[in-house]
Structure 1
Amino acid sequence: MTAKRLSAPTLLLLPAVLVLAAVVVVPLCLSFYSSFTPFRLTRPETFFTFIGLRNYRNILSDANFWWAFGRTVLLLTIALNLEMLLGLGLALLVEKASRGQRVLRTIMMFPMMFSPILVGFQFKFMFNDNIGLVNNALQSLGLTQEAIPWLIEGHLAFIAISIAEIWSSTSIFAILILAGLLAMPKEPVEAARVDGCTPWQTFRYVTWPFIMPFAYIAMTIRSLDVARAYDIVKIMTDGGPAGRTELLWTLVARTAYSDARMGVANAMAYFSILLSIVFTVYFFRKLAAARTQIGAEW
């Protein structure tokens, strides 16, 4: 029997498949297996000791893990809602601009061009106790007499991180919602005005249902980003003070590299992926419902 020859497309795709398997599939399989072991970086032989679900049971009874989980959900909720509202406002303002709309769209994209690490350093400097721009501005305006310990007090540090996240990613919502506004037919809006609808009624019952799918797409993208937030938190507070800003992925990194408990860290990581899956499924369902509504009404 002659060996079956592979087709030309298969041969062309084979190198890419092998590279993806080497850098994605194999590490994922090894990390998933290690979550069922007591693997420590300082003791490589522990990688071959299978302990079942012990790591998962331990993290489910770990208060620090649940505090980090709760903070991540809180940050995700605050960031998504405020980014959506601010992005919607920016998109509406830019869409109404009669001149310089291209320039405004370009300026609106600037925050997306900065890496999260650079954003972290930028806001860490801005919220610095002594030389930070925020404290200097507040004191110059007479709103406060003393420097506010933004990155030292737990609640204030969380607010500072939230502001950095919102500043860096509001443009994602603005750009996608603006795309929806520019793609929207003008006839329904004009018909609503002729029928005597107020601007709020026109937006609520005509404009918003049309651009809602674009907002849900942005929410899906951002939910994945915020659920695995690491860079900005690492640079600004490193999870401090006293773990008050510790999020899921900063806790995973600390457990894996500072404590060398790679098996436990991988268990945390795979459990944390459930958070991303839940929000993704939720927003995809909302997106499908919004598209169905548009198809029925338009």
Structure 2
Amino acid sequence: MKGWRPSPPLLLLLPAVIVLAAVVVLPLLLSLYSSFTPFRLTKPETLWVFIGARNYVNLLTNGDFWIAFARTVVLLTVALNLEMLIGLGLALLVEKASRGQRILRTIMMFPMMFSPILVGFQFKFMFNDNIGLVNNALQALGLTDRAIPWLIDGNLAFIAILTAEIWSSTSVFAILILAGLLAMPREPVEAARVDGCTPWQTFRYVTWPFIMPFAFIAMTIRSLDVARAYDIVKIMTDGGPAGRTELVWTLVARTAYSDARMGLANAMAYFSILLSILFTVYFYRKLAAARTQIAAEW
């Protein structure tokens, strides 16, 4: 190393690299190492006991983890499909608007500006048994004569969480699909109309193939968000009642901090990250196929 001098760009980047290594890389390496130990927060000395892949093997027979994982997959599947359908409808309506389109686009982005914690508190209040807006509205309209226990019943609590997720993130699909609609050339649509295609046929065979990549981009972004959903669930139900709304990351947090089993919690986290990567690869393949289809048809 004698006589070697780092270049000016390297010297300028060095502070940022050091900070990233200190706050990102080192904690990740430490958490990865601890997933191969029986580390408990109440017993710091267990951090230095190496047990190999025992935590990961135990996950294969951990019923609570797989139930939480299945519930996360259900939430992800239902939320993504509903968000895409509602976002597609909003995008089509805004694209048809002849006036105030910029104002409508701004309004569509409002839910994205709220913190998930704030959204959780907002919907927890709305679905409250006694003073919640939803129960008061249903009773005022005569649709029910008693308060519905939205956050106490397991199935209803899951619906309440799903509603909060859809409200806060449908705008991601709406904005990206609207961008695709605004970028689409008008000539193929006009040609389809001249050829006598119905509005549904025009959308199905002309519009949708073009905007499909934009929908898959939104789906990839949202799949990662839903797969690591924590804030809204933590605020609204904290995984209850009786674990009926427990998702993967709320289970990870409970295992790490309530049960103090940090080693097992980190193993759950890395296993979940691996599954999220597999979902991302799947969506990227769908996106590549959609792009290939557009290149062939357009």
- Please indicate the TM-score interval, normalised by the length of the shorter structure: over 0.9
* Contact 1:87–1:177 (Cα < 8 Å) also in 2: yes
| Corresponding residue for residue 211 of structure 2 | 211
Partner amino acid, structure 1, of 2:101: Q
Structure 1 stretch displaced more, 21-30 or 232-241:
21-30
Q: CA offset at residue 2 of structure 1?
A: 4.3
* CA–CA distance in structure 2, aligned partners of residues 129 and 2 of structure 1: 73
| Corresponding residue for residue 191 of structure 1 | 191
| Corresponding residue for residue 59 of structure 2 | 59
Q: CA offset at residue 3 of structure 1?
A: 2.1
| Corresponding residue for residue 172 of structure 1 | 172
Q: CA offset at residue 251 of structure 1?
A: 0.3
| Corresponding residue for residue 225 of structure 1 | 225
Q: Which runs of 4+ in 1 moved over 6 A?
A: none
| Corresponding residue for residue 294 of structure 2 | 294
| Corresponding residue for residue 234 of structure 1 | 234
* CA–CA distance in structure 1, aligned partners of residues 242 and 190 of structure 2: 57
* Contact 1:38–1:261 (Cα < 8 Å) also in 2: yes
* CA–CA distance in structure 2, aligned partners of residues 194 and 295 of structure 1: 23
CA RMSD of superposed structures (Å): 0.8
1:44-55 matches, cutoff 5 A = 44-55=44-55
1:142 aligns with 2:142: yes
Partner amino acid, structure 2, of 1:97: A
Structure 1 stretch displaced more, 179-188 or 287-296:
287-296
* Contact 1:227–1:275 (Cα < 8 Å) also in 2: no
* CA–CA distance in structure 2, aligned partners of residues 153 and 228 of structure 1: 23
1:248 aligns with 2:248: yes
1:160 aligns with 2:160: yes
Aligned residue pairs: how many?
298
Gaps of 5+ in 1: none
| Corresponding residue for residue 34 of structure 1 | 34
* Contact 1:40–1:46 (Cα < 8 Å) also in 2: yes
Q: CA offset at residue 275 of structure 1?
A: 2.2
* CA–CA distance in structure 1, aligned partners of residues 9 and 220 of structure 2: 33
Partner amino acid, structure 2, of 1:153: D
Gaps of 5+ in 2: none
If the length of structure 1 is used for normalisation, what is the TM-score? 0.99
| Corresponding residue for residue 16 of structure 2 | 16
Of all paired residues, the percent bearing the same amino acid is 86
Partner amino acid, structure 2, of 1:227: A
| Corresponding residue for residue 269 of structure 2 | 269
* CA–CA distance in structure 1, aligned partners of residues 274 and 2 of structure 2: 47
Q: CA offset at residue 268 of structure 1?
A: 0.5
| Corresponding residue for residue 126 of structure 1 | 126
Q: For residues 268-297 of structure 1, give each alpha carbon's deviation from its aligned partner in whole angstroms, at most 9, with x where no partner exists.
A: 001111221121001100111111111122
| Corresponding residue for residue 117 of structure 2 | 117
Q: CA offset at residue 8 of structure 1?
A: 1.5
Structure 1 stretch displaced more, 2-11 or 269-278:
2-11
Q: CA offset at residue 166 of structure 1?
A: 0.4
